[in-house]
Amino acid sequence: MAFVNWLKRHLVVVAGLLTLGYLLLPNVVVTVFSFNKPKGRFNYEWQQFSTDAWKDPCGVADMCGSLSLSLQIAVWATLGATALGTMIAFALVRYRFRARGAVNSLIFLPMAMPEVVMAASLLTLFLNMGAQLGFWTILIAHIMFCLSFVVTAVKARVMSMDPRLEQAAQDLYAGPLQTFLRVTLPIAAPGIAAGALLAFALSFDDFIITNFNAGSTVTFPMFVWGSAQRGTPVQINVIGTTMFVVAVLLVLVSMALGNRRNRQKA
């Protein structure tokens, strides 16, 4: 009875912790198995503790090359999609033009379309155009599917912006460029940052569209997929764990910075 009462009072916390565990368990497995010393080629059974893979993360042929390629593509795709997406978002919120409604709904299409279908259509398009498959086709494809996410994130922010703020800037001697740089952009920045992070994450681990349009180029997700069929090197777990830790650290640092700034001001 006492336990039932305790559970009633803490139900939300318990449910939250269970959900968190559900989310994090795969990451824990990845991390644990990065310290494994597998027998044979597959890293699916726990054998014994070892830090060999951590000491030599690039010890697998071609893996670090594919990782660096993926990071490059992700950075460029993020820059391209964020720049274009921000401009589209501003245009959709601020201006009334012909076919604005159509653009507004069409921009969501890449989100809704099954990825395989989009990948195949893109390949058809590239082949018909006689394009050389590789870095550039991957980049073009990534910018394309990241765009809708950036537009959605930035649009929400721009829509909630008070137009009087820009009028106030103009009233205080800021010309159009100054108004944009000093007021519009900083206020829209959280939306733009959210869009950019989303774009980076999507581009970095995209497999389906990349696989169709890469030609003989191999990105990191393609490398993992390929090696999973022949045997999984422990280094893949090392890279996965590192990515996870870096992401968590980034979040923690930004939270700490935000907290400190607030405490200083208060």
Which chain residues interact with other proteins by CB under 8 A?
162, 164-165, 167-175, 178-179, 182-183, 186-187, 189, 264-266
Q: Which one, 39 or 94, has the nearer CB to other proteins?
A: 94
| Least spacing, CB of residue 248 vs other proteins, in Å | 27
| Least spacing, CB of residue 177 vs other proteins, in Å | 11
| Least spacing, CB of residue 180 vs other proteins, in Å | 13
Q: Which one, 98 or 164, has the nearer CB to other proteins?
A: 164
Q: Which one, 27 or 170, has the nearer CB to other proteins?
A: 170
The 3-state DSSP class for residue 108 equals coil
| Least spacing, CB of residue 266 vs other proteins, in Å | 7
To 10 degrees, what angle do helices 185-204 and 63-94 make? 140
| Least spacing, CB of residue 164 vs other proteins, in Å | 4
Please give the Cα distance from 40 to 33 (Å, whole number).
14
Please give the Cα distance from 48 to 53 (Å, whole number).
13
- 216, two tokens: 């003989």
- Between the alpha carbon of residue 260 and those of residues 16, 255, 264, 265, the distances in Å are 27, 9, 6, 9
- 229, two tokens: 């069929």
To 10 degrees, what angle do helices 234-265 and 220-230 make? 140
Q: Which one, 159 or 245, has the nearer CB to other proteins?
A: 159
Q: Which one, 140 or 187, has the nearer CB to other proteins?
A: 187
Q: Which one, 10 or 261, has the nearer CB to other proteins?
A: 261
To which H or E segment does residue 214 belong?
A: none
| Least spacing, CB of residue 169 vs other proteins, in Å | 7
Residue-wise DSSP of 145-182: HHHHHHHHHHHHHHHTS-HHHHHHHHHTT--HHHHIII
| Phi, psi for residue 36 in degrees, rounded to 5 | -85, 155
